[in-house]
């Protein structure tokens, strides 16, 4: 008799707002190795991503409506998000961590902040 296993799809354990994601994900700069290390809630290390001091400085000083390139990030919780790029709000795929300051959860939020005169 052959048995079939039922596999349940993995569901996200939580949904977070942009500010919650920003608070949970912290960027650490290691001077001796010039690597940025992303740590999530509970201090679990996700990965190390090589970065230069110039890249880090550009990310730190950019505002939400600056023309900073959108970052998919290193996590794999792919969702649609919105970024302000080339004078308009554009959709892109966001991985769930490592967002730049020009990440918005909706087009309306982006337009309200970046396109109103």
**For the chain, which domains are there?**
18-114 (4.10.410.10)
Is 102 in contact with 65 (CB distance < 8 Å)?
yes
Banded model confidence at residue 97, pLDDT cuts 50, 70, 90: confident
pTM of the model: 0.43
pLDDT of residue 61: 55
pLDDT tens sequence across 9-63 = 444 444 555 544 444 443 433 333 333 344 444 444 444 444 444 444 444 556 7
Task: Quote the percentage of the chain above a pLDDT of 70.
Answer: 46
Buried b (16+ CB within 10 A) or exposed e, 57-68: eebeeeebbeeb
Mean confidence (pLDDT) of the chain: 61
Q: What is the CA radius of gyration of the chain?
A: 17
User: What tokens does 61 get?
Assistant: 């000083």
């Amino acid at each position: 008799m052959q048995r079939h296993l039922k596999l349940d799809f993995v569901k996200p354990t939580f949904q977070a707002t942009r500010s919650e994601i920003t608070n949970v994900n912290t960027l650490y700069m290691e001077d001796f190795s010039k690597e940025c290390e992303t740590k999530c809630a509970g201090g679990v290390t996700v990965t190390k991503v090589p970065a230069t001091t110039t890249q880090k400085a550009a990310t730190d000083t950019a505002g939400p409506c600056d023309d900073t390139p959108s970052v998919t990030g290193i996590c794999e919780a792919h969702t649609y998000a919105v970024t302000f790029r080339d004078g308009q709000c554009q959709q892109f795929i966001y991985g769930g961590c490592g967002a730049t300051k020009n990440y918005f959860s909706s087009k309306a939020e982006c337009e309200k902040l970046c396109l109103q005169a």
